Amino acid sequence: MSSLLEVRSLTKKYGNFTALSDLNFELESGKITGLLGPNGSGKTTLIKIICGLLQPSAGNVTVKGYPVGVESKKVISYLPDTTYLGKSSSVEEVIDFFVDFYEDFDRDRAYDMLGKLGIDPHTRLRTMSKGTKEKVQLILVMSRRADLYILDEPIAGVDPAARDYILNTIITNYDENASILISTHLISDIENILDEVIFLKQGRIVRKSSVDDIRTNEGKSVDGLFREVFKC
Amino acid sequence: MSWSLNSDRPIFVQIIEHMEMDIVSGALPPGSKVASVRELASEAAVNPNTMQRALSEMERKGLMHSERTSGRFVTDDENVISALKIELAASGVDGFVAQMRRLGLEKDEVLNMIREKY
């Protein structure tokens, strides 16, 4: 398997505060990776650097061999941890916008998922609950045929039933060669769909391994190991 | 989450156990076609790579085989299935015996209880 994402000696400082310290790792094609860590451990900072929204202080990131830039952004589908869609737009209008903007956007796939989650495309985002807006954003992100999906806290605001559907959407809607990087605190909800995990603690990687290795070697769940490693 | 998988143990191992039970019980009949990796992964709510790994392991054990164009099938070899049944029964008995020993029961007491219940 070839590596899709390469992170080399990546450091990010905010003034005197070091948010990420000399990170090195690779993600292979076709894997679902959990990016796990407590609040303030650097998850979102790392994601924003990979997506080109923040500049690293040192080190570099390549996606499919491209440095972060236009080419890397084409192949990454990113779900940010905040809402960025215009509130006065309807779902339909936002989808039209995405179709114009991304050449790999699959309109039918988006409408199909909306239908399954019972979301009316004519609804305006302004009138939607937080959870419904999150679902719409996830649908938009998963409707692209990207090489790397980066999901920052994708299921935090949605109810458990919709969570199951969303996880199912994630499993069934990415192709075999695409990879997914998911950051979350809700480990027990997602750990069965992960191939591997990266534990981030105070800007450093303290563990990167396959989830079945954790279960075999430690005899505990990823959630259990997380609680142990990050015990307060 | 209809497969009720436990996060403390490797998922692919539990998938194999689940499917072995389906083969022995006839829920997956001999020679029948197995659903696609995607469908099964979705049904069990697990990663497709994990499902793939479990199915490859089932093939290695001779419980399933792939045909290039038409998909994956449960073995139609009755001997393989009977052997699997015995293997599962033996491991169930091992666990049961160990538990009865922990409870401090003698062999005859346990056998009598089995005769009454079975």
**Taking CB atoms and an 8 Å limit, are B8 and A30 in contact across chains?**
no
Q: Which residues of B touch A211 (CB under 8 A)?
A: 11
Q: Which of B45, B49, B50 sits opposite A167 (nearest CB)?
A: B45
B1 touches chain A (CB under 8 A): yes
**Taking CB atoms and an 8 Å limit, are A172 and B49 in contact across chains?**
no
Q: ipTM value, please give it.
A: 0.72
CA-nearest residue of chain A to B40?
A172
CA-nearest residue of chain B to A192?
B46
232 residues of chain A, pLDDT tens digit each = 468 999 999 999 999 999 999 999 999 998 999 999 988 899 999 999 999 999 999 999 999 999 999 999 999 999 998 877 878 899 999 999 999 999 999 999 999 989 988 899 999 999 998 888 888 998 999 999 999 999 998 888 788 888 888 888 888 777 778 899 999 888 888 888 999 999 999 999 999 999 989 998 888 899 989 998 888 7
B61-87 burial string, b = 16+ CB within 10 Å, else e? eebbeeeeeeebbbbeeeebbeebeee
Own/partner pairs, A217-222, CB within 8 angstroms, 24+ separation: A219/B8, A219/B9, A220/B8, A221/A188, A221/A191, A221/B7, A221/B8, A222/A34, A222/A36, A222/A187, A222/A191, A222/A194, A222/A197, A222/B7
The CATH number of the domain holding residue A18 is 3.40.50.300
Per the structure, the count of domains in chain A is 1
Residues of the domain holding A67? 3-229
Domain residue ranges of chain B, discontinuous segments joined by +: 1-76, 78-118
**Which architecture, in CATH terms, is B1-76?**
Orthogonal Bundle (1.10)
Q: What is the Cα–Cα distance from B110 to A203, expressed in whole angstroms?
A: 58
Q: Which residues of A touch B11 (CB under 8 A)?
A: 192, 211-212, 215
Q: Smallest CA–CA separation between B81 and chain A, in Å?
A: 27
CA distances from residue A44 to A81, A150, A173 in whole angstroms, order as listed: 8, 10, 24
